[in-house]
Structure 1
Amino acid sequence: MKKNFFAIGFVVIVYLCSCSNSETAQSQNLARKEPEVKSIFINGDSLHYVDIGKGEPVVFVHGAVGDYRTFGAQMDAFAKRHRVIAYSRRFAFPNQQTITDSTRLSVVSNASDLTEFIKALKLKPVTLYGHSYGADIALVTTIGHPELVRRLVLGEPFVPSMMQQVPGGDTILNNFFTTAFGPVMEAFKNNDNEGGVEALINGVMGDSTYFDRMPQKDREIMLANYPEAKGILSGKDNFPSVVCEDLKKIKAPVLLVRGEKSPAIFAIMIEGMKRCLSNREVATLANTTHGLEYESPAEFNNAVLSFISKH
């Protein structure tokens, strides 16, 4: 099973970059004024972020092939009631790090950055939202530093270790990786970076035309962030094993967000997590795939803001 963790960790990373072709999301992004981009020195490197609004802090964590711009449709809506921070993880635009050590690409190293980021900005405790690979980072951060998190919101986290509880889990993981990401690995191997990103998006969405139909702005964001996804392929054991006992230790309220039309493997993992978390709720976004906040920003925003108000 351990052999599959890396492969599926990459699957999750990919999904994070799936940006919406939703007219609602586009109009919100176009209408809003771009916030000031700031930087802070964390763990030996500068990380960039945007920070708007006042009130209890909400921190957004993107996945690979994304950056702080991923949450354009959330910033203004959440800033009406909260201080909202979205940052670009190490190696993401507009950060300037060069990937020379694949161990810096792991969930654990990213969780370390997130921990220090929250501490440096004196934000704790926060409402923490992570999507896909970013959800894995948010989850590991919460397990390691529960004092930093008041509420945890996870958008379809990819937790391969949950598949150990599922009959035939190894086969499900291997099949999903082979069919969705074989072409991605081949393209990156041949230094066809744009082809790799396109194959990655089309593969995880199950639609060979999806990337071509996306708005140009969203495609540009993903292409600007391809190095991390490509670098992950050279990593080893970069995806930690989270088991039920780890989840049982989480005392903060948890909201699990899933898409009604997302691949079944995400629903399987969420069901496994539900059995282990003591204080959890599930929000299912109608007619939505793994894009979640990209595809259904209004429904997503309402679900998360209601969860925050309730707890």
Structure 2
Amino acid sequence: MPSTHAESRTRPEFDNLPTQTANLPNGVELCYVEEGRGLPLVFIHGLLGDWRSWQPQWDAFVARGYRCISYSRRYSFPNVNEIASPNHSALVDADDLAGLLDKLGIRAAILIGTSYGAFTALALAVHHPQRVMAMVATEAPMMKYANFSKEGAALRVEFERRTEAAAQAFRQGSDAQAVRMMTDAINGHESSSANTGHALQRRIANVNAMRALMLSTDPFPLLSPQQLGGIAAPTLLVTGGQTQPIHEAVFRNVCAAMPQARVSRVQGAGHGVHRDKPQEFNAIALEFLQQEIRPATRAIPTEEKR
């Protein structure tokens, strides 16, 4: 096993890890990478990310004895799945994730998701509860929860005004401009570094994921408070201390619907906590899993021994 000092470093060649492809029964192909031995742990990226988004976490979690899997959701780089319908959402992504777990011989996994990936994790826990061992979910953009408070409803109107401007740029064929505008709408003042150079190119490579949501009839379907409150898997909800007001409003109302969940706020971080404050994020996530999962599941067999 690698040294625990791996928690504080990242691997320059992470982007060059050998990728594999899972061919799901529904015809969808999902690219993923895998490393490590132990309890299966799946990382789920956000809207304009892909499997490479979890570089700051990879070595830390592999070193702690997890079988780590990072995959690209249906329309993210380097997948080439066609947008088959105008009904894409986190519910579809959750079904894809269940299919990926089947392909990998995993009955249940730990999920770590950010933004739309956190939404996907919560959707899996609601609709396929037996597949989720535990979750760490950062600021799932369940936008309907903004309407559960007067302040949140007003913030959602402003957020949708900004995202519609991005959609208009997208419809005019200005993919790069649309990505910049959507990044600004999601991250606000935190977005400048994500809108330049290599970070911007990565986001543009994932523009098809943005296209699928822009075309969707309901990109943010409601997981009801009753459904969220019924999630039995140990859950840690994470937010950034400097996140956008719209995310704060949604997060607050999601927390109210999930009194069974733990909550952690990381100061100095915006919407992308795992990216902004990776060491802090890794520490709180690993501690949570150590307390909630490792003692109880150490002897649980998996379908495939690694």
1:138 to 121, 132, 135: 121
Q: Is residue 2:45 matched to residue 1:82?
A: no
Contact kept in structure 2, 1:202 and 1:211, CA below 8 Å = no
**Structure 1 counterpart of 2:258:** 277
RMSD over aligned Cα, in angstroms? 2.2
* CA displacement at 1:77 relative to structure 2: 1.0
Counterpart CA distance in 2 for 1:153 and 1:209 is 23
Amino acid at match of 2:214: L
1:237 to 218, 225, 231: 218
1:44 to 22, 27, 36: 27
Counterpart CA distance in 1 for 2:167 and 2:280 is 34
Show CA shifts across 1:237-262 (max 9, x none).
24321121111211111100100000
* CA displacement at 1:211 relative to structure 2: 4.9
* CA displacement at 1:99 relative to structure 2: 2.1
Amino acid at match of 1:175: E
Spell out the pairing of 1:23-42 with structure 2 (5 A cutoff): 28-30=10-12, 32=14, 34-42=16-24
**Structure 2 counterpart of 1:3:** none
**Structure 1 counterpart of 2:80:** 96
Q: Is residue 2:148 matched to residue 1:160?
A: no
Amino acid at match of 1:280: A
* Alpha-carbon spacing, 1:286–1:168, altered in 2? closer, same or farther (3 Å): closer
**Structure 1 counterpart of 2:304:** none
Q: Secondary structure at the match of 2:273?
A: coil
Contact kept in structure 1, 2:159 and 2:185, CA below 8 Å = no
* CA displacement at 1:172 relative to structure 2: 2.3
* Alpha-carbon spacing, 1:208–1:131, altered in 2? closer, same or farther (3 Å): closer
1:202 to 162, 165, 184: 184
Counterpart CA distance in 2 for 1:231 and 1:283 is 31
Contact kept in structure 2, 1:260 and 1:288, CA below 8 Å = yes
1:259 to 204, 225, 240: 240
**Structure 1 counterpart of 2:99:** 116
Q: Secondary structure at the match of 2:274?
A: coil
Provide the identity percentage.
Answer: 27
* CA displacement at 1:97 relative to structure 2: 1.4
**Structure 2 counterpart of 1:58:** 41
Q: Is residue 2:174 matched to residue 1:192?
A: yes
Counterpart CA distance in 2 for 1:160 and 1:274 is 14
* CA displacement at 1:62 relative to structure 2: 1.1
Structure scoring higher RCO (CA < 8 A, sep ≥ 6) equals 1
* Alpha-carbon spacing, 1:212–1:71, altered in 2? closer, same or farther (3 Å): closer
Show CA shifts across 1:139-159 (max 9, x none).
011011111111111110112
Contact kept in structure 2, 1:32 and 1:76, CA below 8 Å = no
* CA displacement at 1:295 relative to structure 2: 1.1
Show CA shifts across 1:279-309 (max 9, x none).
3111111111001111111111111011100
* Alpha-carbon spacing, 1:188–1:257, altered in 2? closer, same or farther (3 Å): same
Q: Is residue 2:280 matched to residue 1:299?
A: yes
Q: Secondary structure at the match of 2:181?
A: helix
TM-score (norm 2): 0.86
Q: How many pairs does the alignment contain?
A: 284
**Structure 1 counterpart of 2:296:** none
Contact kept in structure 1, 2:11 and 2:59, CA below 8 Å = no
Contact kept in structure 1, 2:47 and 2:115, CA below 8 Å = no
* CA displacement at 1:187 relative to structure 2: 1.3
* Alpha-carbon spacing, 1:254–1:271, altered in 2? closer, same or farther (3 Å): same
Deviating more after overlay: 231-240 vs 59-68:
231-240
Show CA shifts across 1:128-149 (max 9, x none).
1111111111101101111111
Counterpart CA distance in 2 for 1:49 and 1:74 is 15
* CA displacement at 1:100 relative to structure 2: 4.0
Amino acid at match of 2:16: E
Show CA shifts across 1:26-83 (max 9, x none).
x725265732101111121221100001111110111222110111111111001211
* Alpha-carbon spacing, 1:208–1:123, altered in 2? closer, same or farther (3 Å): closer
- Where structure 2 has 5 or more consecutive residues not aligned to the other structure, the ranges are 1-6, 293-306
Deviating more after overlay: 272-281 vs 240-249:
272-281
Contact kept in structure 1, 2:229 and 2:260, CA below 8 Å = no
Contact kept in structure 1, 2:141 and 2:220, CA below 8 Å = no
Q: Secondary structure at the match of 1:309?
A: helix
